[in-house]
Amino acid sequence: MVTTTSRPTATAEIATDTDPMNQPADTADKNREPARSHVSNNPNPVAKEEAMIEVDDVSFSYDMGKTNILRNISFNIPAGKVTALIGPSGCGKSTLLRCLNRMNDLVDTSKVTNGQIRIMGQDINAGDVDPIELRKQVGMVFQKYNPFPKSIYDNVAYGLRIQGIKNKSKLDEAVEKSLQRAALWSEVKDRLNSSALGLSGGQQQRLCIARTIAVSPRIVLMDEPCSALDPIATARIEELIAELQEEFTIVIVTHNMQQATRVSDRTAFFYLGELIEYDDTTTIFGNPSVTQTEDYVSGRFG
């Protein structure tokens, strides 16, 4: 039969991992509260070797450092996995996402006021890093699909042409491959020269994904990619995310909790500019360590 000590509970494991002085208590009841108060916000960290992106003590401000929107954020985003950033509006998750390809550079007064963001070991805010080059490596898909008012073909070929590729057969090949990877090829192959704006919303979003991956980035950032789509189009994008993660490291901001549980391997919960908890997605939604996380994911906030 079952005994108390034969298998520690999940919370007990966390408690002993983070605090070696914390004696394992003999019941689940005793374990729960200490685990919650002593646990770090990153009880199950991603090792440096597995990290594609290292966010190291980052603070960020939109007003030259007067107020920090992000405060001392540290966590590693693993390579070849999907990482979800969740939290209520204004918690800083989209700001952090835009830090990862320096989209915030477009706002004059914004800056990283503390810490480093390293991608494959390289500090992306170092003086010699060209943000345009960085964005080739770190592509982005936005909440509202935004194809150019051009043909389907030209949308996908856009980034490649900017890179100087003019060879027609090379472009043809890359456009077909990208559209196939974005699961759109069979729907558009007979009308590549029609306007992208004639596609449905879901198709336009997949076209934007094809455009993003055409330049072979290492990382794809997605800022609520499904929030403007119907459930069928959403399911197609989620299916696509699962396929793309084999090739790309994906970071996705989503307000849809169920979507985060379906598509992501790791989840980071942000609140008021702080990283509250970062762990495997199944832990964040199944048995989070921090009460605030549980309150948010189970709809108890406010």
Partner 1 sequence: MQPESSNHILSSFDSELDQLRIDLIQMGNLVLRAFESSVNGLLEQDIGRCNDVIADDDIIDQKEKEIDANGMAILLRYSPVATDFRAAVSTLSISRSLERIGDHAVNVARSGRKIMKHGEFPEVRLVEPLFEATRDLLNKALTAYTNSDPQLAMEVIEEDDKVDKLHNKLSKGLTTMAGSGGGDVESILHLLFISRFLERVGDLAANIGEDVVFISSAGDIRHA
Q: Phi and psi at residue 239, in whole multiples of 5°?
A: -60, -40
CB-wise, 6 or 186, nearer to partner 1?
6
**At CA 32, angle to CA 46 and CA 253, rounded to 5?**
40
By DSSP bridging, strand 249-253 and strand 82-86 are parallel
Q: Which string of x and - marks every residue 232-261 that binds partner 1 (by CB under 8 A)?
A: -------------------------xx--x
The least distance separating partner 1 from the CB of residue 212, rounded to whole angstroms, comes to 30
Instruction: State which H helix or E strand residue 132 sits in.
Output: helix 131-137
If one counts every other C-beta atom within 10 angstroms of the C-beta of residue 288, the result is 24
Q: Nearer Cβ to partner 1, position 86 or 140?
A: 86
**Residue nearer to partner 1 on the CB measure, 183 or 297:** 297
Answer yes or no whether residue 11 interacts with partner 1 by CB under 8 A: yes
Q: 254 to 293, contacts with partner 1 by CB under 8 A? A: 257-258, 261, 285-288, 291
Centre a 10 Å sphere on the Cβ of residue 86 and count the other Cβ atoms it contains.
27
Cβ 297 to partner 1 shortest distance, Å: 5
| Between 74 and 292, CB nearer to partner 1 | 292
Among 1, 47, 132, 232, binds partner 1 (CB under 8 A): 1
**What's the Rg (C-alpha) of the chain?**
21
Shortest CA distance to 72 belongs to which of 106, 52, 89, 96?
A: 96
Q: How far is the CB of 21 from partner 1 (least distance, A)?
A: 21
Contact status, residue 45 vs residue 75, Cβ threshold 8 Å = yes
Q: Please give the size of the binding site for partner 1, defined by CB under 8 A.
A: 35
For 229, the token pair is 């789509």
State the binding string over 24-63 for partner 1 (x if CB under 8 A, else -). Answer: ---xxxxxxx--x---------------------------
Least distance (Å) between residue 121 CB and partner 1:
36
How far is the C-alpha of 51 from the C-alpha of 49, rounded, in Å? 6
Q: Decide if 90 contacts 45 (C-beta within 8 A).
A: no
| Residue 242: alpha-carbon gap to chain centroid | 13
What H or E segment, with its residue span, contains residue 111? strand 111-119
Tell me how far, at minimum, the Cβ of 70 lies from partner 1, in Å.
26
Q: Give whichever of 8 and 65 is closer to partner 1, judged by the CB atom.
A: 8
Cβ proximity to partner 1: between 13 and 187 the closer is 13
Residue numbers at the binding site for partner 1 (CB under 8 A): 1-4, 6-12, 27-33, 36, 257-258, 261, 285-288, 291, 294-295, 297-302
